[in-house]
């Protein structure tokens, strides 16, 4: 049964006593059939504040079930034949926290079946196109997804509750996927071990023969939902010539900052060598890979904690056949051996 978000949040804020609070019925609507366990949510927010950056979103989603069980939404893309939720369960989960209006509901549900089993996030982007700031889809819909929707609802409910819950929710940063305005990101390398969540927000992205400089997106939770910080130039940033990389990076990197280098898995590793030489003049450089703790439906950026330089020993010599995935695998081995700094040089072959 559909419950307007505003009525739900006001009801959450109005309830008193006990750690589990059942929202009161909104005008003309029945109360949602779930209790909000604010004790569990407060505990999750405390845990997230001290957790690794990439682990924070899932910790908050798991602990703050302000609209009941998030599972049908988080697993929406998995077809029913593969163990995914039924369409009716997805619709019910959405209704508990509210479509912003009937048009949003129609467009979300109308594109749901065709998007399941694919990488498309069409239903969520449709929701963002209609609802905009009501689901934190500003300035665009690039982040719209099930985890983003859940965090938006948690942010609004925690703020409406007020007190320590609101303070805790707004106290720390969350990572967001490195995606363009089209909602797509690079296919980054995967390594089983040796990935750190300490990722420098300043980033260089290589796409084809182009270089982009900017910041990885970050977010905070507040009264208006998810407050996104994409830096001066939204990801992937401003296109920059190789010769201008140091100057562009100096405008973004402050004292103690590091630089995360992003490139698709199949990119020749040799293409990174001149970039490392230029960027390491400004700040320590680390290779970006897929983080291990991303919520289902998201790909967050992690980093291999081995600083890349043009001149350190030991060194990794990259040939024309070596890809960024190969380089990531070699760096992960170095990280496992407790090596913290390596040189990267081209064999010229």
Q: For all residues of the chain together, what is the average pLDDT?
A: 90
Reported as a single tens digit per residue, the pLDDT across 265-296 is 999 999 999 999 999 999 999 999 999 999 99
pTM of this structure: 0.89
Q: How far apart are CA 140 and CA 133, in angstroms?
A: 9
Distances (CA, A) of 205 to 149, 202, 247, 317: 27, 10, 16, 22
Q: How far apart are CA 74 and CA 64, in angstroms?
A: 14
pLDDT, residue 314, reads 85
pLDDT, residue 23, reads 39
Give, in degrees to the nearest 5, the angle at Cα 30 between 26 and 36.
Answer: 80
Strands (E), 122-256: 174-175, 202-207, 210-215, 218-222, 225-229, 238-240
Neighbours of 46 (CB within 10 A): 15
Instruction: Please count the CA atoms within 13 angstroms of the CA of 188 that sit on its side-chain side.
Output: 24
By the 10 Å C-beta count (0-12 exposed, 13-18 middle, 19+ buried), 129 is classed as middle
Neighbours of 294 (CB within 10 A): 19
Reported as a single tens digit per residue, the pLDDT across 160-186 is 999 999 999 999 999 999 999 999 999
Give, in degrees to the nearest 5, the angle at Cα 181 between 215 and 117.
Answer: 115
pLDDT, residue 35, reads 81
Q: How far apart are CA 283 and CA 268, in angstroms?
A: 23
Q: Which residues of the chain have pLDDT under 50?
A: 1-33
Domain segments of the chain as ranges: 5-172, 202-346
């Amino acid at each position: 049964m559909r419950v307007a978000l505003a009525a739900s949040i006001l009801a959450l804020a109005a309830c008193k006593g006990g750690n589990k609070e059942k929202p009161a019925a909104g005008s003309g609507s029945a109360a949602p059939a779930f209790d909000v366990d604010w004790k569990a949510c407060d505990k999750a927010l405390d845990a997230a504040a001290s957790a690794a950056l990439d682990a924070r979103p899932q910790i908050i989603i798991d602990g703050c079930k302000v609209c009941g069980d998030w599972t049908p939404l988080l697993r929406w893309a998995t077809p029913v034949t593969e163990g995914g939720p039924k369409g009716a369960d997805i619709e019910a989960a959405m209704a508990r926290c509210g479509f912003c209006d009937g048009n949003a509901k129609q467009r979300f549900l109308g594109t749901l079946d065709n998007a399941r089993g694919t990488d498309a996030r069409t239903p969520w982007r449709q929701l963002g196109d209609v609802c905009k700031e009501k689901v934190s889809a500003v300035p665009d819909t690039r982040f719209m997804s099930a985890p983003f929707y859940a965090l938006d609802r948690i942010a609004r409910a925690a703020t409406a509750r007020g007190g320590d819950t609101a303070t805790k929710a707004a106290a720390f940063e969350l990572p967001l996927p490195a995606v363009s305005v089209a909602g797509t990101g690079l296919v980054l390398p995967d390594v089983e071990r040796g990935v750190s969540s300490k990722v420098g927000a300043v980033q260089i992205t290589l796409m084809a023969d182009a270089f982009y400089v900017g910041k990885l997106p970050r977010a905070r939770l507040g009264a208006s939902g998810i407050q996104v910080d994409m830096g001066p130039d939204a990801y992937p940033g401003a296109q920059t010539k190789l010769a201008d990389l140091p100057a562009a990076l100096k405008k973004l990197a402050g004292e103690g900052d590091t630089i995360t280098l992003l490139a698709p898995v199949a990119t020749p590793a040799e293409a990174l060598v001149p970039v490392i030489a230029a960027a390491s003049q400004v700040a320590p450089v680390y290779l970006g890979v897929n983080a291990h703790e991303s919520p289902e439906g998201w790909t967050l950026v992690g980093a291999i904690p081995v600083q890349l330089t043009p001149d350190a020993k030991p060194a990794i010599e990259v040939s024309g056949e070596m890809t960024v995935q190969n380089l990531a695998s070699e760096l992960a081995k170095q990280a496992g051996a407790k090596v913290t700094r390596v040189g990267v040089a081209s064999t010229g072959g």
